[in-house]
Amino acid sequence: MQDKNDVRVYAKDRRLYSHKGAVPIDDIISADGWNLTRKLITANGTMPGPPIFMYQHQYITIIVHNYLVNESVTIHWHGIDQLEHPAMDGVAYVSQCPILPGQSFNYTFKPRFGGSYWYHSHLGIQRDMGLYGAFIVLLKGEPPTKQHIILIQEWNHMFNAVELLNISPLPQPHSILINGRGQFQDIRAPLETFNFNKLERNLFRLIAVGSHSTLLFSIPGLKLIVSETDGFEVQPEVVDKIIIFPAERYNFEIDLSYVKDEMYTMNVRVLSSPNLTFGNDIGFAFLNVVNYINDDSLVSVNRRIDKRLLVLNCPFLTYPKNTDFTCIPISDLKSKKHIDNDAFSSEHIPKTNEKLLHFLNFGFPNGHSSINGHIYHSPTVAPLTQPSETDTNCGKCDDETTCKCSYSLPLSSGSEVIMVLMVLGQGATISHPVHMHGHTFEVLKMVFPTVTNNDQFVFTEDIQCSEALTNSQSQCNNAKWKNKSWNDFKNIPGIKLKYPLRKDTIVVPYGGYVIIRIEARNPGVWLMHCHIDKHMIEGMAVMLNESFENQHKYVQGDLPKCRSHLKSNSGV
């Protein structure tokens, strides 16, 4: 480590020192205390970047200045649906041209829903290099709370993070950071401390900002009351641990009936797919509790009496090799209140009677990161602002081959869209955290593989991948329901239409599927992709071209244009 004047700094006993003496820990990005430096890209010189707080229904303008010498940048406002502001989504070569070195870009938009969101670079692997931060939208009239933001991520010591893209499978991280701080091996580096006053209402906002690892979060000895995921309130669920995949968010309070005046430890562990076995690395932070009062009126809810540990968000119903865990699928959560789909739609886009059904398979057929065998290749223009110059031809793809193209899925204006997200076929290897830009979707059903007594996975048979091949032989690029009556989703057993969970990022289970629903009434070009950086960069993405004929109404005419310069007569 080193300070801003290139003076060497080292960690000892949770403090930082140089040869001149103690150094304020807030002046240094200490990460896990490792003694060598690595290249970072940050917002305003800190990692994480500064948290942004605002109220719902306020307009906000954030000016991004690119002071990098060699790299372009964009900033995505993760979870904000950008209704009627599609050019503000912040995805290079989808909603905008990248911000070149020395340039600036005004992001102006109006979040309509309160909740825990975040911002991060959406170009290359800059997020893994430190360009991220919390974006919190407060509800007007919400009771005052002490806000605690918990940003968790894996961390590695490679000086050049691009090296990660050339390693397969992805390596175990060297450490885990909580709000940019962690510990590597026996280096006693500074750790994050959360001060918890029981006389106040304390809300914790847990955000997974890492690039690839599945993480297990807990505060041993305390129960967590989960109240929100991905910006939308749920009926409270008491758990011991939360499995969190890249880009997910969970709000929770602590069941105060368990808390005493003492120092607790937050634990974050890496889980290895597909069985989610425990890695050796553990991230730590401290929770310092003061003003303990034995008062039954303090925050608590009805609790399940169970000696087993309740674990939220397993990608299976039975946890392999762990008899102490009782899994609670994320689909078991229910929205706290009904929100009509009109609230997520432009009032200028009427609902139609058209219904669309799309099966999307996330996997590695023949080793290629893809969706339905389409290896996403980024356009050389921004399709939202330059639609006539965008080539989305994928003519070389078929049911059992892969092809590289700027994969695009048209969504007719006003239609009801059912998507079946799945991890099946010969390219299925692990579960995938899938994020949809431009929408929060209703989670209507999740189906998981069966875990046998010897911890083998038996895939679902609800879906037919091919007419000629078995599911295990097929790439599953053109799937359909085995039961044709399920083409009307209301005929599917176990479908949840009352208070369905809302998410913008969801784990698609290895050997299973998720049924989600949106209405195509937010004109724009929205990327949908696996939120594991390596998978997305290598091709696991698709553009949702929504309400194409209405997009121009919401795109400012002065936005930058970009393109390659190739002359047909150049002879090259």
Which strand (E) or helix (H) includes residue 60?
strand 60-65
pLDDT at 307: 62
Q: Is 70 exceeded by the pLDDT of residue 276?
A: yes
pLDDT in tens, 284-315: 899 988 764 444 433 443 444 456 899 999 99
Q: CA angle, 262 as apex, 259 and 263 as ends, to 5°?
A: 110
Q: Is 60 exceeded by the pLDDT of residue 536?
A: yes
Q: What is the pTM of this model?
A: 0.94
In order of 419, 459, 461, 510, 511, the CA distances from 483 in angstroms are: 16, 17, 10, 21, 18
Mean pLDDT of 158-186: 81
Mean pLDDT of 59-73: 97
In order of 121, 212, 528, the CA distances from 437 in angstroms are: 14, 19, 6
Q: What are phi and psi of 491, to 5 degrees?
A: -90, -5
In sequence order, what are the residues at sequence separation of 6 or more whose Cβ sits closer than 8 angstroms to the Cβ of residue 566? none
Of 237, 215, 216, 240, nearest to 226 by C-alpha is 237
Task: Please tell me the least confidently modeled range out of 303-317, 350-364, 425-439, 546-560.
Answer: 303-317
CA–CA distance, 537 with 376 (Å, rounded to integer): 8
Mean pLDDT of 519-548: 97
Residue 159 confidence class, pLDDT cut points 50, 70, 90? low
pLDDT at 348: 87
Given the DSSP bridges, would you call strands 432-436 and 513-519 parallel, antiparallel or unpaired?
unpaired
pLDDT at 199: 83
Q: Is 80 exceeded by the pLDDT of residue 182?
A: yes
pLDDT at 567: 67
pLDDT at 6: 78
Mean pLDDT of 461-467: 97
| Same fold across 139-332 and 341-554 | yes
Is the CATH number 2.60.40.420 carried by domain 139-332?
yes
pLDDT in tens, 4-13: 777 888 888 8
- Mean pLDDT estimate for the chain: 91
Mean pLDDT of 31-53: 92
Of 557, 504, 543, 516, nearest to 208 by C-alpha is 504
Q: Is 70 exceeded by the pLDDT of residue 227?
A: yes
Q: Is 90 exceeded by the pLDDT of residue 261?
A: no
pLDDT at 166: 73
Mean pLDDT of 374-397: 94
Q: Is 60 exceeded by the pLDDT of residue 211?
A: yes
Domain ranges for the chain:
139-332, 341-554
CA–CA distance, 351 with 522 (Å, rounded to integer): 11
pLDDT in tens, 308-351: 899 999 999 999 887 789 999 999 999 998 888 888 888 889 99
Is the CATH number 2.60.40.420 carried by domain 341-554?
yes
